[in-house]
Amino acid sequence: MFRGYSTAHCSLELPDYHPFPKYKYAGVAQTLQGAMEVLEAPAIAWETLALVHEQAYLEKLGQEGLSRQESHRVGLPWTRSLLTRALHAAGGTLAATRDALRWGLGMNLAGGTHHAYRDRAEGYCLFNDVAVAIAALRAEGWGGRVLVADLDAHQGNGTAVIFQDDPSVFTLSVHAERNYPLKKEQSDLDVGLPDATGDAEYLAALEPALEQAFASLPELVFFNAGVDVLAGDRFGRLGLSLEGLAERDRRVFERVRRAGVPLVIVMGGGYNRDPGTTVAAHAQTYRLALERLAGSL
Protein backbone atom coordinates (compact mmCIF):
# COMPACT_ATOMS: atom_id res chain seq x y z
CA MET A 1 0.00 0.00 0.00
CA PHE A 2 1.27 3.47 -0.88
CA ARG A 3 1.68 6.00 1.89
CA GLY A 4 0.98 9.64 2.49
CA TYR A 5 2.60 11.88 5.08
CA SER A 6 0.42 14.11 7.19
CA THR A 7 0.98 17.09 9.50
CA ALA A 8 -2.39 16.56 11.18
CA HIS A 9 -0.52 15.70 14.40
CA CYS A 10 1.00 19.20 14.46
CA SER A 11 -1.04 21.89 16.18
CA LEU A 12 -1.08 25.41 14.79
CA GLU A 13 -2.09 28.33 16.99
CA LEU A 14 -4.20 30.77 15.00
CA PRO A 15 -7.01 33.19 15.80
CA ASP A 16 -10.44 31.74 15.02
CA TYR A 17 -11.01 34.28 12.24
CA HIS A 18 -7.75 33.52 10.42
CA PRO A 19 -8.29 32.34 6.80
CA PHE A 20 -5.46 29.78 6.80
CA PRO A 21 -7.27 26.41 6.37
CA LYS A 22 -5.57 24.37 9.07
CA TYR A 23 -8.64 22.11 9.16
CA LYS A 24 -7.82 20.60 5.78
CA TYR A 25 -4.74 18.64 6.85
CA ALA A 26 -6.63 16.45 9.29
CA GLY A 27 -9.64 16.37 6.97
CA VAL A 28 -7.68 15.06 4.00
CA ALA A 29 -5.81 12.52 6.13
CA GLN A 30 -9.08 11.18 7.54
CA THR A 31 -10.70 11.05 4.11
CA LEU A 32 -7.82 9.03 2.65
CA GLN A 33 -7.57 6.50 5.46
CA GLY A 34 -7.95 3.11 3.83
CA ALA A 35 -6.93 4.33 0.38
CA MET A 36 -3.34 4.65 1.58
CA GLU A 37 -1.29 4.28 4.72
CA VAL A 38 -1.30 7.70 6.39
CA LEU A 39 1.83 8.34 8.46
CA GLU A 40 2.89 11.27 10.60
CA ALA A 41 5.30 13.43 8.62
CA PRO A 42 8.72 13.44 10.29
CA ALA A 43 10.49 16.68 11.15
CA ILE A 44 13.27 17.61 8.75
CA ALA A 45 16.78 18.15 10.09
CA TRP A 46 18.14 21.68 10.30
CA GLU A 47 21.29 20.62 8.46
CA THR A 48 19.11 19.45 5.56
CA LEU A 49 17.35 22.82 5.45
CA ALA A 50 20.77 24.45 5.34
CA LEU A 51 21.38 22.85 1.94
CA VAL A 52 19.00 25.50 0.56
CA HIS A 53 18.26 28.14 3.18
CA GLU A 54 20.79 30.67 4.42
CA GLN A 55 22.27 29.96 7.82
CA ALA A 56 21.42 33.39 9.21
CA TYR A 57 17.76 32.88 8.31
CA LEU A 58 17.65 29.44 9.93
CA GLU A 59 19.33 30.72 13.08
CA LYS A 60 16.82 33.55 13.30
CA LEU A 61 13.91 31.11 13.04
CA GLY A 62 15.42 28.77 15.62
CA GLN A 63 16.19 31.53 18.12
CA GLU A 64 14.01 34.65 18.13
CA GLY A 65 11.66 33.77 15.27
CA LEU A 66 10.02 36.24 12.88
CA SER A 67 9.49 39.90 13.64
CA ARG A 68 6.02 41.43 13.43
CA GLN A 69 6.86 42.87 10.00
CA GLU A 70 8.15 39.50 8.77
CA SER A 71 5.07 37.74 10.14
CA HIS A 72 2.92 40.20 8.20
CA ARG A 73 4.75 39.25 5.00
CA VAL A 74 4.17 35.57 5.76
CA GLY A 75 0.53 36.16 6.65
CA LEU A 76 0.75 34.04 9.80
CA PRO A 77 1.48 35.10 13.39
CA TRP A 78 4.80 33.81 14.70
CA THR A 79 4.53 30.92 17.15
CA ARG A 80 6.71 27.93 17.92
CA SER A 81 3.86 25.76 16.62
CA LEU A 82 4.22 27.45 13.21
CA LEU A 83 7.90 26.49 13.10
CA THR A 84 7.25 22.94 14.27
CA ARG A 85 4.57 22.39 11.68
CA ALA A 86 6.81 23.77 8.91
CA LEU A 87 9.60 21.38 9.93
CA HIS A 88 7.23 18.43 9.67
CA ALA A 89 5.73 19.61 6.36
CA ALA A 90 9.21 19.80 4.81
CA GLY A 91 10.09 16.44 6.34
CA GLY A 92 6.99 14.95 4.76
CA THR A 93 8.08 16.10 1.31
CA LEU A 94 11.54 14.58 1.75
CA ALA A 95 10.02 11.31 2.97
CA ALA A 96 7.61 11.30 0.00
CA THR A 97 10.53 11.92 -2.35
CA ARG A 98 12.34 8.88 -1.03
CA ASP A 99 9.13 6.87 -1.49
CA ALA A 100 8.88 8.08 -5.09
CA LEU A 101 12.42 6.97 -5.91
CA ARG A 102 11.75 3.60 -4.31
CA TRP A 103 8.20 2.85 -5.47
CA GLY A 104 7.46 5.41 -8.18
CA LEU A 105 4.94 7.51 -6.22
CA GLY A 106 5.37 9.61 -3.09
CA MET A 107 2.65 11.73 -1.47
CA ASN A 108 2.85 14.47 1.10
CA LEU A 109 -0.54 15.51 2.45
CA ALA A 110 0.99 18.93 3.13
CA GLY A 111 3.84 20.93 1.62
CA GLY A 112 4.11 22.83 -1.61
CA THR A 113 5.48 25.88 0.22
CA HIS A 114 6.74 27.50 -2.95
CA HIS A 115 6.86 31.14 -1.82
CA ALA A 116 9.82 30.62 0.54
CA TYR A 117 13.14 32.03 -0.68
CA ARG A 118 16.59 30.99 0.49
CA ASP A 119 16.72 33.89 2.95
CA ARG A 120 13.15 34.68 3.87
CA ALA A 121 9.60 33.49 4.42
CA GLU A 122 6.64 34.68 2.38
CA GLY A 123 3.02 33.80 1.70
CA TYR A 124 2.35 31.13 4.38
CA CYS A 125 5.73 29.51 3.57
CA LEU A 126 8.75 29.22 5.90
CA PHE A 127 10.79 26.61 4.02
CA ASN A 128 10.84 25.70 0.34
CA ASP A 129 10.15 22.01 0.85
CA VAL A 130 10.56 20.91 -2.78
CA ALA A 131 13.88 22.72 -3.14
CA VAL A 132 15.11 21.18 0.09
CA ALA A 133 14.11 17.68 -1.02
CA ILE A 134 15.96 18.14 -4.33
CA ALA A 135 19.04 19.46 -2.53
CA ALA A 136 18.99 16.47 -0.18
CA LEU A 137 19.00 14.11 -3.17
CA ARG A 138 21.89 16.03 -4.71
CA ALA A 139 23.85 15.80 -1.46
CA GLU A 140 23.39 12.03 -1.54
CA GLY A 141 24.74 11.82 -5.09
CA TRP A 142 21.50 11.64 -7.11
CA GLY A 143 22.03 13.85 -10.15
CA GLY A 144 18.97 13.31 -12.32
CA ARG A 145 16.91 15.94 -14.14
CA VAL A 146 13.90 17.28 -12.25
CA LEU A 147 10.64 18.90 -13.29
CA VAL A 148 8.75 21.02 -10.77
CA ALA A 149 5.21 21.26 -12.18
CA ASP A 150 3.55 23.93 -10.06
CA LEU A 151 -0.17 24.16 -10.81
CA ASP A 152 -1.15 26.06 -7.68
CA ALA A 153 -3.09 29.25 -8.46
CA HIS A 154 -0.14 31.34 -7.26
CA GLN A 155 3.22 31.57 -8.99
CA GLY A 156 5.98 29.55 -7.33
CA ASN A 157 8.17 32.62 -6.96
CA GLY A 158 10.60 31.26 -4.38
CA THR A 159 11.10 28.04 -6.33
CA ALA A 160 11.69 29.98 -9.55
CA VAL A 161 14.49 32.02 -8.00
CA ILE A 162 16.15 29.10 -6.22
CA PHE A 163 16.48 27.13 -9.47
CA GLN A 164 16.97 30.02 -11.88
CA ASP A 165 20.61 29.09 -12.56
CA ASP A 166 20.18 25.30 -12.30
CA PRO A 167 19.76 23.74 -15.76
CA SER A 168 19.03 20.34 -14.21
CA VAL A 169 15.69 21.59 -12.79
CA PHE A 170 12.86 22.77 -15.05
CA THR A 171 10.33 24.97 -13.26
CA LEU A 172 6.80 25.28 -14.65
CA SER A 173 4.23 27.57 -13.05
CA VAL A 174 0.64 27.85 -14.31
CA HIS A 175 -1.11 30.48 -12.22
CA ALA A 176 -3.52 33.40 -12.11
CA GLU A 177 -1.54 36.31 -13.54
CA ARG A 178 -3.10 39.00 -11.34
CA ASN A 179 -2.75 36.93 -8.20
CA TYR A 180 -0.17 36.99 -5.40
CA PRO A 181 2.75 37.52 -5.69
CA LEU A 182 2.25 40.83 -7.48
CA LYS A 183 5.91 40.83 -8.55
CA LYS A 184 6.45 37.62 -10.48
CA GLU A 185 9.78 35.88 -10.73
CA GLN A 186 10.99 34.04 -13.83
CA SER A 187 10.40 30.30 -13.99
CA ASP A 188 11.61 28.27 -16.95
CA LEU A 189 8.02 28.44 -18.15
CA ASP A 190 5.37 30.75 -16.71
CA VAL A 191 1.77 30.61 -17.89
CA GLY A 192 -0.25 33.46 -16.43
CA LEU A 193 -4.02 33.13 -16.79
CA PRO A 194 -6.73 35.80 -16.56
CA ASP A 195 -9.12 35.95 -13.63
CA ALA A 196 -12.04 33.50 -13.66
CA THR A 197 -10.41 31.19 -16.22
CA GLY A 198 -12.67 28.13 -16.51
CA ASP A 199 -12.12 24.48 -17.36
CA ALA A 200 -11.82 24.65 -21.14
CA GLU A 201 -9.51 27.65 -21.24
CA TYR A 202 -7.36 26.30 -18.41
CA LEU A 203 -6.91 22.88 -20.00
CA ALA A 204 -6.15 24.44 -23.38
CA ALA A 205 -3.32 26.42 -21.77
CA LEU A 206 -2.11 23.47 -19.70
CA GLU A 207 -1.59 21.05 -22.56
CA PRO A 208 1.22 22.89 -24.40
CA ALA A 209 2.79 23.83 -21.06
CA LEU A 210 3.04 20.18 -20.07
CA GLU A 211 4.37 19.32 -23.53
CA GLN A 212 7.19 21.82 -23.17
CA ALA A 213 7.91 20.90 -19.55
CA PHE A 214 8.16 17.16 -20.22
CA ALA A 215 10.38 17.86 -23.24
CA SER A 216 13.06 18.58 -20.61
CA LEU A 217 13.11 14.77 -20.11
CA PRO A 218 12.78 14.76 -16.33
CA GLU A 219 13.83 11.75 -14.28
CA LEU A 220 11.76 12.90 -11.30
CA VAL A 221 8.64 15.09 -11.17
CA PHE A 222 7.31 17.19 -8.30
CA PHE A 223 3.66 18.16 -8.68
CA ASN A 224 2.37 21.08 -6.62
CA ALA A 225 -1.29 20.12 -6.78
CA GLY A 226 -2.91 23.22 -5.30
CA VAL A 227 -6.71 23.19 -5.49
CA ASP A 228 -7.01 26.96 -5.14
CA VAL A 229 -7.69 26.97 -8.89
CA LEU A 230 -11.32 26.07 -8.08
CA ALA A 231 -14.18 28.50 -8.39
CA GLY A 232 -15.13 29.77 -4.94
CA ASP A 233 -11.60 29.86 -3.59
CA ARG A 234 -10.86 32.83 -1.32
CA PHE A 235 -7.48 33.55 -2.90
CA GLY A 236 -7.29 31.67 -6.19
CA ARG A 237 -9.00 34.02 -8.71
CA LEU A 238 -9.55 31.15 -11.17
CA GLY A 239 -12.78 29.30 -11.97
CA LEU A 240 -12.27 25.55 -12.38
CA SER A 241 -14.93 22.99 -11.48
CA LEU A 242 -14.14 19.83 -9.52
CA GLU A 243 -14.29 17.90 -12.79
CA GLY A 244 -11.97 20.40 -14.44
CA LEU A 245 -9.56 19.96 -11.53
CA ALA A 246 -9.76 16.18 -11.94
CA GLU A 247 -8.96 16.52 -15.64
CA ARG A 248 -5.98 18.74 -14.81
CA ASP A 249 -4.65 16.03 -12.54
CA ARG A 250 -5.35 13.22 -15.01
CA ARG A 251 -3.32 15.04 -17.65
CA VAL A 252 -0.37 15.43 -15.31
CA PHE A 253 -0.56 11.79 -14.25
CA GLU A 254 -0.82 10.61 -17.86
CA ARG A 255 2.32 12.55 -18.76
CA VAL A 256 4.14 11.05 -15.79
CA ARG A 257 2.96 7.56 -16.71
CA ARG A 258 4.09 7.95 -20.32
CA ALA A 259 7.47 9.28 -19.22
CA GLY A 260 7.86 6.38 -16.79
CA VAL A 261 9.34 8.56 -14.04
CA PRO A 262 8.77 8.84 -10.28
CA LEU A 263 6.27 11.41 -9.04
CA VAL A 264 6.10 13.35 -5.78
CA ILE A 265 2.80 15.08 -4.98
CA VAL A 266 2.70 17.99 -2.55
CA MET A 267 -0.58 19.53 -1.45
CA GLY A 268 -0.25 23.23 -2.25
CA GLY A 269 -2.99 25.76 -1.60
CA GLY A 270 -6.72 25.38 -1.19
CA TYR A 271 -8.87 27.98 0.54
CA ASN A 272 -12.38 27.40 -0.74
CA ARG A 273 -15.20 29.22 0.99
CA ASP A 274 -16.71 25.78 1.51
CA PRO A 275 -14.28 23.79 3.72
CA GLY A 276 -15.80 20.51 2.56
CA THR A 277 -14.94 21.38 -1.04
CA THR A 278 -11.31 22.06 -0.11
CA VAL A 279 -10.95 18.69 1.60
CA ALA A 280 -12.79 16.79 -1.16
CA ALA A 281 -10.71 18.45 -3.89
CA HIS A 282 -7.37 17.62 -2.28
CA ALA A 283 -8.46 14.06 -1.56
CA GLN A 284 -9.61 13.69 -5.16
CA THR A 285 -6.08 14.47 -6.40
CA TYR A 286 -4.46 11.76 -4.28
CA ARG A 287 -7.14 9.20 -5.14
CA LEU A 288 -6.68 9.89 -8.85
CA ALA A 289 -2.92 9.45 -8.49
CA LEU A 290 -3.45 6.04 -6.94
CA GLU A 291 -6.01 5.12 -9.59
CA ARG A 292 -3.94 6.31 -12.56
CA LEU A 293 -0.43 5.46 -11.47
CA ALA A 294 -0.40 2.69 -8.88
CA GLY A 295 -1.15 -0.03 -11.40
CA SER A 296 1.66 1.07 -13.71
CA LEU A 297 4.38 1.18 -11.06
Q: How large a percentage of the chain has pLDDT more than 70?
A: 99
Quote the pLDDT of residue 297.
62
The strand pairing partners of 266, in sequence order, are 224
pTM: 0.97
> Shortest CA distance to 61 belongs to which of 42, 38, 85?
85
* Pure H helices in the chain: 23-32, 46-49, 55-62, 68-74, 80-103, 129-139, 157-162, 199-214, 242-259, 275-293
Quote the pLDDT of residue 294.
79
Quote the pLDDT of residue 296.
65
Cis? peptide before 181, omega within 30° of 0 = yes
Instruction: Answer whether residue 16 shows pLDDT above 90.
Output: no
Q: What tens digit of pLDDT does each residue of 101-144 get?
A: 999 999 999 999 999 999 999 999 999 999 999 999 999 999 99
